[in-house]
Chain A
């Protein structure tokens, strides 16, 4: 059962239905237009050809995305799009009641800080960095995401922080058509614990470097997900189709470790 809030512009529907809508509007994939139209009609949200004005605003970034956002949280990846001055996210919930939420693009950081529950953390001294095997770190994170014991896998104090004070793991990335010589993407990975936030830098040799970070530095880093104008190819009509996110889903290594 789909629903549409004409005040907030939030569309609530199943994961497959919102995925089909995203595939059609982004132009990336194929989907049953008749079924999507039926879902929109059921929600009183108009149709693909004539969506409700608030839904049309939410879909604008999907139709002409300049930045593609991938937000992995709690073991699931969610796709998002920035374009036409707005940010829209396919927010994963239970699967039957996923939501398409949209807001002005400049609200992206505020929204992510709220969603990721970034706030004050303890300031107890922590090592400047801890190098671990990435697969072992992933195993510890996955076990905790599954509410299982991870004690003993990692060096202290990281082991205790994850085993006994794990809050969440998240990875946020964004891609854009880069200006000449400019980077075209950024990715931020973090583990949130009662002892504080930790950034994760994945190296090509299979090592992960874990560093303590503050809520402030995390806030500033999340701001970089929205690139400055001089980083973006101003001549690009949109993010290329092959870089445009459409579908999310379970994070593969989390699902594999949890069996």
Chain B
């Protein structure tokens, strides 16, 4: 099983480069970023089921703003957008894509402070769109 995505020079493993310059050092209460998590899938898993389970477990401070079926890495996926209030510290946007590919459940997450979201979302989505998963 292989996994590949292109950072497009938008995100970096360390907080340097254009992305860091875009968000500005020290601005915002949380660090904007991108993450990918995979665990072995179980029989019957699909993007809709994964999303339903995740959204039914949202905490009280989270608001589900949007849900959209889509395609990612060549398979059906579901995109969700959740606004999370982190205590009194920050309001953070979590845009996530859930999919099942190559025998794995995948959750792709792009996140940033709400105040920075309009500025950063397009770049983060462009990185997500490059995801490729091979068995």
The interface of chain A, by Cβ under 8 A from chain B, is: 104, 106-107, 109-110, 113-114, 118-120, 123, 214-216, 219-220, 223
Contacts and interface: CB of A to CB of B under 8 A. Distances in A.
Interface string B53-81: 00000000001111110000000000001
B135 interface: no
28 contacts: A104-B88, A106-B91, A106-B115, A107-B85, A107-B91, A110-B63, A110-B83, A110-B85, A110-B91, A110-B114, A113-B65, A113-B83, A120-B64, A120-B65, A120-B67, A123-B68, A215-B65, A215-B66, A215-B81, A216-B65, A216-B66, A216-B81, A219-B83, A219-B114, A220-B118, A223-B114, A223-B115, A223-B118
Interface string B74-100: 000000010101001011000000000
Interface of B: 63-68, 81, 83, 85, 88, 90-91, 114-115, 117-118
A171 B81 CA distance: 23
Contacts of B67: 120
Nearest to A221: B118
Nearest to A111: B85
Nearest to B90: A106
Contacts of B83: 109-110, 113, 219
Contacts of A114: 63
B114 A109 contact: yes
Select the residue from A109, A214, A219 with max chain B CB neighbours within 10 A.
A219
A110 to B, nearest CB: 5
Contacts of B117: 220
Given A110-B85, A223-B118, A118 B65 contact: yes
